[in-house]
Amino acid sequence: MSREEDENRAWKKEYSIVLLLNFIYILIFMYIMTSFT
Amino acid sequence: MGTLDWTILCGTLLFIVSYGVWRTKGSKNVDDYVRAGGEAKWWTIGLSVMATQASAITFLSTPGQAFHDGMGFVQFYFGLPLAMIIICLVFIPIYHKMKIYTAYEFLEGRFDLKTRSLAAILFLIQRGLAAGITIFAPSIILSAVLGWDLRTLNVIIGSLVIIYTVSGGTKAVSVTQKQQMFIIMTGMFITFFFILGYLPADINFSKALKIAGASNKLEILDFSMNTTSRYTFWSGITGGLFLALAYFGTDQSQVQRYLTGKSVRESQLGLVFNGIFKIPMQFFILLVGVMVFVFYQYNPSPLNFNPAATQTVMESEYAEDYRLLQEGQVALEAEKRIAQNNFSAALEIKEYAAVEMAKQQIIDINKKDSVNRVAAKTIIKQADENIETNDKDYVFIHFILNNLPKGLIGLLLAVILSAAMSSTASELNALGTITALDLYKRNRKEEQTEQHYVKASKWFTFLWGVIAIGIANVASLFDNLIQLVNIIGSIFYGNVLGIFLLAFFFKFVKGNAVFFAAVLTQIIVCVIYYNLIHIYPSGEEKLGYLWLNFIGAALVIITAFVFEAFDRMLNRPLAASR
């Protein structure tokens, strides 16, 4: 496998951002649920 | 609708179509027409992927879903970000490495021609039907509400899409989807702020959320393991991941969007964009629906939002019963307004006991409201058992037409039609591409020029456009066609996803094993459908049709393993004797 292919398949910081942001969304949803109901 | 609305609606739609045609005329070769020259930036890909998934029904139904059942529907999308990451890591690098035009072309490289053709045909059947319904679904709602002719509306939506999709191919689809997403989000934001403005002066956004919360509309997360509940956190994470993988990873209408990327990185960032913004977008659309609910706490609403249903019952022998029910509802609405004012006043003075008392009062009134609406549905069914009583698709459009100012109504109708056009364009584009490249080009013996295949792609796109309009026009002959199309999708999706999972993760499985496993799986899935689902059209099926997705994928993988093992067992002595 070439270096470029390896890079294409490597974990990137953007994926961590996706996971982190979606985790934050869930926390916000929990906050809305508990604060407004 | 006033002149201003018509001007905005027609102006917006004509601008999109002519801009799409003008910006993308003259595709030189297949790469230009099918992959937009492979020049797309990540934001174009991201918007295109989102616009493809968000059809008119998303903007008509989702606010209605929140109005009736709250915001729990957002959990359905929880598996999507994970699917985006898996596709970025596994699917995109392979697709780009092989420089493919269609997802099924990859299957020929990995397996053989017959597996590629089988997957392509399965796609054409389900997506061809779905394209018709993408046109039909908003048409039936708009024609019921606005009194427009259903067939004319089908032809208008279909023809507008055909013009720019045939003319400019994938590039036209991407270019117009950027405009469409801009119009869609602008329209939804303006509407959101208008709704807030329509609430009583003492109700700010925070109080509006409290009011929604008191009626259980903000039950966003459900961590229970309840399998009978349609949307839970766990079903979203597992089922949602599975569906998103199948849809974004193997459905050509989506794959074609990110194959336009200038590089692997641009394609990956396009899907990262979707993974970041999809859940907030769905949350926002649901929030609009919740605000519509709050609005109707202070304003009169019909017992059933489908005007055709109300008209039918008022013209029947049950009109008097319905009128009595309506009078009861008017009295209940007056009670509701008083209860909401008490709740708001209690919140103001921060008196906990008073807040709880007012909340209980609201819960009691909402229960009565639900009883009235169920009773209304029963009467409507008695008047005409064929009429659609589920009115969630009509809530938002009823609000738009009866409350928004002139001009904004035209813009919101442009939003709905833009959404219909953006999804249909991707579907026709994919259908034309698959037919031209996977079936027509691959099975021709003599070589042809690039221009020939561009022309063939255009003709096939046009043909699928005509077929989609035809399906939309006969759709009303079937009772529950939208449901039927979802079922047909589930019958094929699992199998196709299974084939792709075998291709990516199980290198030892070869073409013959996969092909025969896929054929056998398709037959078994059809038998399961016929015996456990189809024979119970009353809704009492023994198996929910969504399970067909999982069964299809699992079955094709397991049977391919078995066939591969047999194949190796049979071939081993031969190999050893060499």
Q: Report if residue B394 sits inside a domain.
A: no
Task: Give the count of domains, chain A.
Answer: 1
List CB contacts (< 8 A) between A14 and chain B. 268-269, 272
Task: Give the count of domains, chain B.
Answer: 3
Q: Judge if B433 and B290 occupy the same domain.
A: yes
List CB contacts (< 8 A) between A30 and chain B. 220-221
Q: Between B85, B221, B272, which is nearest A30 by CB?
A: B221
Q: Judge if B575 and B505 occupy the same domain.
A: yes
B88, B96, B266: best to mutate for the A interface, most A CBs within 10 A? B88
Q: Judge if B216 and B281 occupy the same domain.
A: yes
Per the structure, the complete domain to which residue A31 belongs is given by 3-36
Q: Judge if B204 and B86 occupy the same domain.
A: yes
Q: Judge if B11 and B159 occupy the same domain.
A: yes
Cβ separation of A37 and B272 shorter than 8 Å? no
Q: Report if residue B263 sits inside a domain.
A: yes
Handedness of CA B77, B78, B80, B83 (dihedral sign): negative
CA dist A30 and B414 (Å) reads 34
pTM comes to: 0.88
Query: Contact, B251 vs B324, CB < 8 A?
Result: no
Here the ipTM equals: 0.94
Whole-angstrom CA distances from B511 to B500, B516, B523, B565 are: 12, 9, 18, 13
CA dist B491 and B543 (Å) reads 13
Task: Return the bridge partners of B40, or none.
Answer: B261
Per the structure, the complete domain to which residue B534 belongs is given by 478-578
Look at residue B483 in the predicted model and tell me its pLDDT. Answer: 62
Q: Report if residue B416 sits inside a domain.
A: yes
Per-residue pLDDT of chain B (578 residues; tens, 9 = 90+): 788 888 988 998 898 888 888 877 766 788 888 877 788 899 999 999 999 888 888 888 888 889 988 898 898 899 999 999 999 999 999 998 888 889 999 999 889 899 999 999 999 988 898 888 888 888 877 887 788 888 898 999 899 889 888 888 888 888 888 888 888 889 899 999 999 999 988 888 988 998 898 888 998 898 887 766 667 888 888 878 878 888 899 989 899 999 999 999 999 999 999 999 999 999 999 999 999 999 998 888 888 888 888 888 888 888 888 899 898 888 888 888 888 888 888 888 777 888 888 888 888 888 888 898 889 988 988 888 777 777 888 888 889 888 988 888 888 888 888 888 888 888 998 999 999 988 888 888 787 888 888 889 999 999 999 999 998 888 766 555 556 666 777 788 889 999 999 998 998 999 899 999 999 999 999 998 888 776 555 556 676 677 788 888 999 999 999 999 998 888 765 444 44
Q: Judge if B215 and B321 occupy the same domain.
A: no
B441: DSSP letter = I
Q: Tell whether the model's pLDDT for residue A15 goes beyond 90.
A: yes
Look at residue B162 in the predicted model and tell me its pLDDT. Answer: 92
Q: Report if residue B93 sits inside a domain.
A: yes
Where does a domain end: B367, B389, B411? B389
Which phi and psi (to 5°) does residue B302 adopt?
-70, 155
User: Chain B residue closest to A11 (CA)?
Assistant: B89
Q: Judge if B316 and B361 occupy the same domain.
A: yes
Decide if A16 touches B, using CB distance below 8 A.
no
Residue B279: burial class (beta carbons within 10 Å; 0-12, 13-18, 19+):
buried
CA dist B211 and B200 (Å) reads 12
Measured CA angle at B148 (ends B413, B393), to 5 deg: 55
Q: Report if residue B102 sits inside a domain.
A: yes
Q: Judge if B413 and B364 occupy the same domain.
A: no
Give kind and range of the element (H or E) at residue B398: helix B392-403
CA dist B293 and B141 (Å) reads 20
Q: Which residue is it, tokens 């019952």? A: B313
Cβ separation of B209 and A8 shorter than 8 Å? no
Q: Report if residue B466 sits inside a domain.
A: yes
Q: Report if residue B301 sits inside a domain.
A: no
Handedness of CA B513, B519, B522, B523 (dihedral sign): negative
Assign residue B146 the CATH number of its domain.
Answer: 1.20.1730.10
